[in-house]
Structure 1
Amino acid sequence: MLSMTRRTFGLLAATTMLMATSATSAEPVKIGILSLTSHSPSIIAEGKGYYKEAGLDVEFVPFQAAQPMAVAIASGDVDFGLTAMTAGLVSLAERGAVKIIGGAMAEEEGIEGHKILVSKAVHEDGATTPADLEGKRFGITTAGSSFHYMAHKIADGEGFDRSSMQLVPLNSVSAVIASLRSGQIDAWSIQPNIADGLIASGDVFEVGRIGDYIDSYQVTTLFTSSDLAANNRPLVESFISAFSKGVADYNAALVDKTMPEEETAELVAMIHKRVYSDRPLADADPAIRAGAMRINQGAKLNLASIEDQLEWFKSENLVPQSASMEKLVDSSFVETY
């Protein structure tokens, strides 16, 4: 029979109390997420317990496009977001509601990046290069989205008027995909894991790369409310630290391919719970692995790219002319370049 001394009982009670405290001390955090592989680091950080280790009790909040996520963060319904810069985000930052605090997915020389696509019908009519997109219908989610920015960068690079490209807002990535495949729009640009699947279907053709038009494009950023950035630095730092561990795993597994295959397969299965979850894992696995783009380690932020995007928003009168980098970015949390 186990003998319970007063000292043993005291130690057991103290241990039990500590465990109970640890279980309830995690700070609840809501993270906005899109069903895209670019959000994999956050999925990995949650799946491998990095957020929990950082003292965060994470809940993912799904979105269909970038702009509504920025609105949700400004309102306090979501704490952190990871997505492309939008006119809505910049305008909210100018009003003192949100801040960019780090970088995520980026175009990097030597690694496959965003592809410029056209529909089968347009390709058969002779559109074989980005120069042929003048006068064509280009799919975007919303005005002021990253797709809008990329379309205009193509126009600028090829020397035709931005206004000659007809932009078609479709509110979600899935709607843009369906419209391109059916020929309701003529062109689009998207990251390679999505682009490659469309090209393989035979309904869509690649005609160029965004990397030829935008130098070192900081495609997505991390952002939070201005209130959290200013008044809860420990929480923001904990989030970035845990997220960065997910980034390291993602890059090792899918970009640099230095992670052992067994571990990589585990990460792919983890990502599959939120990306391509409508497909069997066997079908989703190649799509998740294909065309993985670099995520900046440590959430390093390309300020030059952010400033270029900000100036484009201003040039199109999508944001106030007073919008500034000072209002938009808090560069104190991560390394910048």
Structure 2
Amino acid sequence: MRKTARYSALAAAGLLALSSLTACANDVAGTASSKGDGKGTKVKIMVGGLDKVIYLPAMLGQRLGYFDAEGLDVELLSEPAGVQAETALVSGQVQGAVGFYDHTLDLQTKDKAVESVVQFSHAPGEVEIVSSKAAGDIKSPKDFKGKKLGITSLGSSTDFLSKYLAVKNGVNVSEFTPVAVGAGPTFIAALQKGAIDAGMTTDPTVATVLDKKAGKVLLDMRTPEGSQEALGGPYPSSSLYMQTDWVNSHKDTVQKLANAFVRTLKWMSTHSSTQIADKMPADYSQGNKILYAAAIESSLPMFTKDGVMPKDGPETVEKVLKAFNPNIKNAKIDLSKTFTTEFVEKAAG
């Protein structure tokens, strides 16, 4: 089954990522978080936050040596938000991006063909956190009216999902204020200082917020069940997506990437969160390996075991985006061009 597509390059506010490992979009602007070994076919991949658990397969695959085993020299770069990873891909700075699948739909409306080639997850992995101060005022998304809601950046998937949850619960997107606060320390500080009343983020930020008692969970979308309850179906999120023209002209390289990522996903499904944490860079645990392992444990249900797009997943994403995004609401989206299972099916075989 062949599939393909794209998503929108929206302006992203300058944000700080969770850890010091965050790098810039290109070699001139910053330093790569993880360089390849200089051998094999060179591939640059931009990740929307290398230390975010939702994108864990990227660094884990590198640490397990699976890219090297495929004869690839993969250089992982990091930006604090998925929309910035998408921008790097569309501008040609990198060959692949690790970010949310929903970008592919919006980009299609802008005549840009991008497709998910490996689907890491079937749930968003996102959590809506309410600050301890505002917990009494916000009991559900119906209470978003007049509130300041934290997102990673404007045009990000957290922005999209926040808008959908509001609209679904009777709150117009003009009735609340989205605030770009990034993830990690910047998100937590915004929550503690009252710069936001609530916000959407992922692990390990979620685990740290709860550990500091800075906020409470309002909606948990780290599991397929949580995705079903909040969004009405499976929500394919983190993925490896690439420009369709590049995929079609570099099938051998794409297949090797798919082989490495599917192998990584299978490894994750047969190992504990502690074993996974042990493989990751020491900096990712922020000095608390037990808390980091707990964060991984909470998010493990979101990941697929084979990299295959979940059944009805693209339709759920389209429904969510059509609820508030005028570009998609009034456009005819060819979902078959937003992803492909060609490479993961061969990898599984």
Displacement of 1:241 in angstroms is 0.9
Change over 3 Å in CA distance of 1:328–1:166 after alignment to 2: same
1:190 corresponds to 2:190: no
Aligned equivalent of 1:295: 303
Aligned equivalent of 2:135: 123
Larger Rg: 1
Give the conservation status (yes or no) of the 8 Å contact 2:99–2:239. Answer: yes
Output the CA distance in 1 between the equivalents of 2:320 and 2:297: 32
Output the CA distance in 1 between the equivalents of 2:243 and 2:290: 39
Output the CA distance in 2 between the equivalents of 1:294 and 1:45: 17
Q: Counterpart of 1:29 in structure 2: which amino acid? A: V
Change over 3 Å in CA distance of 1:306–1:142 after alignment to 2: farther
Displacement of 1:69 in angstroms is 0.8
Aligned equivalent of 2:60: 44
Give the conservation status (yes or no) of the 8 Å contact 1:92–1:98. Answer: yes
Give the conservation status (yes or no) of the 8 Å contact 1:87–1:313. Answer: no
Q: Secondary structure at the match of 1:242?
A: helix
Output the CA distance in 2 between the equivalents of 1:274 and 1:299: 27
1:27 corresponds to 2:41: yes
Change over 3 Å in CA distance of 1:131–1:239 after alignment to 2: same
Q: Secondary structure at the match of 1:275?
A: helix
1:166 corresponds to 2:177: yes
TM norm structure 1: 0.76
Q: Counterpart of 2:239 in structure 1: which amino acid? A: T
Structure 1 range deviating more: 132-141 or 78-87: 78-87
Aligned equivalent of 1:12: none
Structure 1 range deviating more: 202-211 or 157-166: 157-166
Displacement of 1:192 in angstroms is 5.1
Structure 1 range deviating more: 174-183 or 281-290: 281-290
Aligned equivalent of 1:275: 284
Output the CA distance in 1 between the equivalents of 2:283 and 2:307: 22
Displacement of 1:143 in angstroms is 2.9
Q: Secondary structure at the match of 2:46?
A: strand
Displacement of 1:236 in angstroms is 0.7
Q: Secondary structure at the match of 2:255?
A: helix
Give the conservation status (yes or no) of the 8 Å contact 1:168–1:185. Answer: yes
Correspondence for 1:233 among 238, 241, 251: 251
Decide which structure has greater helix share: 1
Output the CA distance in 1 between the equivalents of 2:144 and 2:38: 56
Give the conservation status (yes or no) of the 8 Å contact 1:140–1:167. Answer: yes
Corresponding pairs, count? 298
TM norm structure 2: 0.74
Displacement of 1:46 in angstroms is 1.4
Correspondence for 1:148 among 138, 150, 159: 159
Give the conservation status (yes or no) of the 8 Å contact 1:193–1:288. Answer: yes
Aligned equivalent of 1:317: 326
Correspondence for 1:137 among 148, 152, 173: 148
Displacement of 1:43 in angstroms is 1.9
Q: Secondary structure at the match of 1:268?
A: helix
Output the CA distance in 1 between the equivalents of 2:337 and 2:109: 6
Aligned equivalent of 1:213: 230
Q: Secondary structure at the match of 2:217?
A: strand
Aligned equivalent of 2:16: none
Change over 3 Å in CA distance of 1:327–1:290 after alignment to 2: closer
Output the CA distance in 1 between the equivalents of 2:59 and 2:283: 8
Q: Counterpart of 2:115 in structure 1: which amino acid? A: K
Displacement of 1:78 in angstroms is 1.6
Q: Counterpart of 1:234 in structure 2: which amino acid? A: D
- Structure 1 vs Structure 2 CA RMSD: 3.0
Q: Secondary structure at the match of 2:264?
A: helix
Q: Secondary structure at the match of 1:78?
A: coil
Displacement of 1:247 in angstroms is 1.0
Q: Deviations 1:156-177 (Å, cap 9, x if unpaired)?
A: 4433334323222335565333
Output the CA distance in 2 between the equivalents of 1:333 and 1:291: 25
Displacement of 1:144 in angstroms is 2.9
Q: Counterpart of 1:81 in structure 2: which amino acid? A: A
Q: Deviations 1:111-136 (Å, cap 9, x if unpaired)?
A: xx543211122114x32333322332
Identity of aligned residues (%): 20
Give the conservation status (yes or no) of the 8 Å contact 1:70–1:81. Answer: yes
